[in-house]
Structure 1
Amino acid sequence: MYKKVVSKGCLDFCYMKVRLDFEEGTHAHIDIVAFKQIILEAAQSMFGLALSCSLIDVLIYEKSSRTAVLRIPNINLSKIWSALSLYSNMNGLSCAFRILQISPHLMALSGNSRLMSLEVVEH
């Protein structure tokens, strides 16, 4: 027997693709543990310990570009977004988080229509 399940309303998690940029000339090599620590520090500095203890998971991390995909509870999305947007100093180095993509579905972060190029095939 086939049963169709339709979910209405908000999903539990949202996915955010972010990149940590530094000033030109600054070469900071950050591993995944340090990257997550910076995110927690940004959340704690803006909203205190309560938010920094929430579930923020780093699902994918590219060390060379300092780009990551985060899984964040939907209830905390706007707070984490604002904390990352306003974070500007890591151990005396000027830096900024760039929010690249946000989606309630992880699969949506697999491509970026802004970077897509289409080729015309003539017969």
Structure 2
Amino acid sequence: MNGCTFMPVLHLFCRKNTVMYKKIVNKGSLDYCYLKTRLDFEEGTRATIDEVQFKQLVLEAVQSLFGLALSCSLIDVLKFDPADNSAILRIEHRNLVKVWSSLTLCGNAGGAPCAFRVLQVSPHLLALSADSRDMTLEVIHS
């Protein structure tokens, strides 16, 4: 279990039968990591893909660099936006660097020149819900 937990500790030496709480922090690695990525095609190339084709491209990129062993690992497309070919991928934390490098080196999608752009990486899915770089604040004058 990751995060902070509070464990009851029974102290018999300080006061008789008093319960105090001790904070225990576990900073172990999480099982999964999340990548927000986008597939950009070369200008002038008219290519449209769906979620299944996007996942197939990701698996082919991983397989071409690391073989069948890594392409059989868990890679899930949690959300796909066909408007800009962006997706949120869930991968095993131990394979993060390998998948990221496979996406970076991929340059061809069905004969069309393309490039994967990794936009955000986080061990927590909630962290991908907002990007401070794209955030606009409205100033309200009273």
Q: How would you bin the TM-score normalised by the shorter chain?
A: over 0.9
Structure 1 runs (4+) deviating above 2 angstroms are 3-8
- Specify which of 42, 46, 53 is matched with residue 34 of structure 1: 53
The alignment status of 1:105 with 2:138, answered yes or no, reads: no
Bigger strand fraction? 2
Gaps of 5+ in 2: 8-24
Q: TM-score, normalised by structure 1?
A: 0.93
> Would you say how many aligned residue pairs link Structure 1 and Structure 2?
121
Larger Rg: 2
Please give the alpha-carbon distance, in whole angstroms, between the structure 2 residues aligned to 1:119 and 1:64: 27
Please give the alpha-carbon distance, in whole angstroms, between the structure 2 residues aligned to 1:28 and 1:122: 46
Partner deviation per Cα, 1:15-56 (whole Å, 9 max, x = no partner): 000000001111211111111000000000000000110000
Which residue in the other structure is 2:114 paired with? Answer: 95
- Give the CA deviation at 1:8: 2.4
SS of 1:82's equivalent?
helix
Q: TM-score, normalised by structure 2?
A: 0.81
- Give the CA deviation at 1:4: 3.6
Q: Relative contact order (C-alpha < 8 Å, sep 6+): which is higher?
A: 1
Gaps of 5+ in 1: none
State which drifts further: 73-82 or 58-67: 58-67
**Identity across matched positions, percent:** 60
SS of 1:15's equivalent?
strand
RMSD: 1.3
The alignment status of 1:73 with 2:92, answered yes or no, reads: yes
- Give the CA deviation at 1:71: 0.2
Which residue in the other structure is 1:57 paired with? Answer: 76
Please give the alpha-carbon distance, in whole angstroms, between the structure 1 residues aligned to 2:138 and 2:47: 37
Please give the alpha-carbon distance, in whole angstroms, between the structure 2 residues aligned to 1:30 and 1:85: 19
- Give the CA deviation at 1:64: 1.7
1:10-49 map, 5 Å: 10-49=29-68
